[in-house]
Amino acid sequence: MKDLQNILKVPGMLTQNEVEYLYRLGQLNPGKGVIVEIGSWKGKSTICLARGSMAVGGEKVYAIDPHRPLAEEGYVEDTEAEFLTNITQAGVETHVVPMVLTSKEAVTGWNQPVRLLWIDGDHRYEYVKQDFLLWEPHVIEGGIIAMHDTIRKQGPKRVLWEIVFRSNRFQQISIVDNLTAVRKVRRISLRGRLAKWLIIGCRGLYIAARKMRFPYAKRAGRWVLKKLTT
Ligand SMILES: C[S@@+](CC[C@H](N)C(=O)[O-])C[C@H]1O[C@@H](n2cnc3c(N)ncnc32)[C@H](O)[C@@H]1O
Distance from the alpha carbon of residue 179 to the mean position of ligand 1, in angstroms: 15
User: What number is the average pLDDT over the span 110-126?
Assistant: 98
Ligand 1 center from residue 128 Cα (angstroms): 11
Is the CB of 75 within 6 Å of ligand 1? yes
Report whether 34 contacts 113 (CB < 8 A): yes
Strand order through the sheet with 179-184: 96-99, 61-64, 34-38, 114-119, 139-147, 179-184, 170-176
The string of pLDDT tens digits covering residues 36-45 is 999 999 999 9
Nearest CA to ligand 1 atom 16: 122
Question: What is the CATH architecture of 4-189?
Answer: 3-Layer(aba) Sandwich (3.40)
Residue 1's pLDDT band, with cuts at 50, 70 and 90, is low
Over residues 156-172, mean pLDDT: 95
Instruction: Return the ligand 1 atom nearest residue 37 CA.
Output: 6
120 pocket-lining for ligand 1 (C-beta < 6 Å): yes
CB of 14 within 6 A of ligand 1: the answer is yes
Does the C-beta of 64 come closer than 6 Å to ligand 1? yes
pTM of the predicted model, to two decimals? 0.95
Range name among 11-15, 118-122, 215-219 with the lowest pLDDT average: 215-219
Give the Cα separation of 82 and 170 in Å (integer): 35
For a ligand 1 pocket test, name from 7, 35, 120 the mutation site with the most ligand atoms within 8 angstroms of its C-beta: 120
